[in-house]
Amino acid sequence: MKKGIHPPYQNAKHTCVCGNSFTAKSTKKEIKVEICSACHPFFTGQQKFVDTAGRVDRFKKRYANYTKKVKVTEEKESTQDQSK
Ligand SMILES: [Zn+2]
């Protein structure tokens, strides 16, 4: 390798959000990851939602009243039919 053009390649501490940490070579000193071999469903064999920024919660919130609204509109339509 040419001198002076490559970043230093050293041991870097990798930290996962699950609490696991391990060392691997990198040009950075510290790397934070969201998923690793200790918590990825492929290795654990358990189902897990890989949910970034609470997207599943947002979806649940948005459509929590969706089924209720549909029922209400159906009831209105049925009462209109009875009046005819
Ligand atoms: Zn992990």
Read off the CATH number of the domain in which 12 is found: 4.10.80.400
Distance 60 CA to ligand 1 centre (A): 25
The confidence score (pLDDT) of residue 2 equals 81
Distance 61 CA to ligand 1 centre (A): 27
Q: What angle do CA 1, 12, 9 make, to 5 degrees?
A: 5
The confidence score (pLDDT) of residue 81 equals 58
Are residues 38 and 60 located together in one domain of the fold? Answer: no
Count of domains for the chain: 2
Q: What's the rounded Cα separation, in Å, for the pair 9 and 28?
A: 8
Are residues 46 and 57 located together in one domain of the fold? Answer: no
Distance 56 CA to ligand 1 centre (A): 20
Instruction: Check if the beta carbon of residue 20 is closer than 8 Å to that of residue 38.
Output: yes
The confidence score (pLDDT) of residue 25 equals 94
Instruction: Check if the beta carbon of residue 38 is closer than 8 Å to that of residue 14.
Output: no
Are residues 1 and 42 located together in one domain of the fold? Answer: yes
Q: What's the rounded Cα separation, in Å, for the pair 30 and 39?
A: 19
Q: What's the rounded Cα separation, in Å, for the pair 40 and 51?
A: 12
What is the extent of the structural domain holding 33?
A: 1-50
Taking only the tens place, the pLDDT of each residue in 13-72 is: 999 998 999 999 999 999 999 989 888 888 888 776 666 667 778 888 888 877 766 666
The confidence score (pLDDT) of residue 72 equals 62
Are residues 78 and 44 located together in one domain of the fold? Answer: no
